[in-house]
């Protein structure tokens, strides 16, 4: 059986054959069965009649289409896996503050999430924001900052009061009513 200059498996082609194959692999030129038929030994090709050559071309074209479909499906699966891995990587990143809790009410359920950490997101939103949205975001940010400030201040004052009480430090001797009588 005569040796063809082209092998079905690209891993087993010679460098000369690989150059011939890669010249037809450019995305601008669609690869057809006729491109691969050119690599069959001419003495073998001369023994085939036109219907056999046409059938070989059809078979090669179907194989190419199948391979392209498989590669596209494989790339799609890999893309989906990469996106899910990217999502899980983002999920695993530690935050400076990560507070999540749920408030169950009789008529509905609310969740609260507060995260503080380094901003690694892409710069711009994919959609334009209105002036009302920007104003609402600013008001919400202001309320959140004031609320956090009040909460931290209250916790700090309570802690200092408990520390003062534990050390038995009396800043104003006597009862509060005695202090009021002195002021009169």
CB 110 within 8 A of CB 102: yes
Show the CA angle centred on residue 32, arms to residues 53 and 4, nearest 5°. Answer: 55
**Which among 117, 120, 111 has a CA at the least distance from the CA of 98?**
117
Q: What is the pLDDT of residue 114?
A: 83
Contact 60, 33 (CB under 8 A): yes
**Domain residue ranges in the chain:** 10-91, 131-174
Per residue in 22-48, pLDDT (tens digit) is: 444 444 555 666 677 777 788 887 888
> For residue 152, what pLDDT is reported?
96
Which residue is associated with the tokens 């891993």? 11
This prediction has a pTM of: 0.34
Compute the distance between CA of residue 23 and CA of residue 17 in angstroms, rounded to an integer: 10
Instruction: Supply the pLDDT for residue 146.
Output: 95
Q: Could you give the count of Cα atoms lying within 13 Å of 69 in the half-sphere of its Cβ?
A: 6
Low-confidence residues of the chain: pLDDT under 70: 1-34, 78-93
């Amino acid at each position: 059986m005569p040796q063809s200059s082209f092998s079905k498996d690209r891993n087993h082609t010679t460098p000369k054959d690989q150059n011939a194959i890669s010249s037809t692999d450019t995305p601008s030129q669609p690869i057809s069965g006729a491109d691969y038929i050119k690599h069959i030994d001419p003495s073998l090709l001369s023994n085939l009649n036109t219907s056999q050559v046409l059938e070989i071309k059809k078979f090669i074209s179907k194989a190419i289409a199948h391979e392209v479909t498989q590669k596209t499906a494989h790339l799609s699966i890999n893309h989906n896996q990469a996106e899910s891995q990217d999502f899980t990587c983002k999920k695993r990143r530690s935050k400076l503050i990560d507070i999540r809790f749920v408030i169950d009410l009789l008529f509905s359920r609310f969740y609260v999430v507060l995260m503080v950490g380094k901003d690694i997101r892409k710069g711009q939103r994919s959609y334009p924001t209105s002036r009302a949205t920007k104003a609402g975001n600013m008001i919400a940010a202001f309320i959140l900052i004031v609320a956090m400030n009040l909460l931290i201040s209250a916790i700090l004052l309570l802690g200092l009061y408990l520390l003062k009480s534990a050390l038995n430090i009396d800043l104003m001797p006597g009862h509060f009513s005695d202090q009021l009588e002195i002021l009169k």
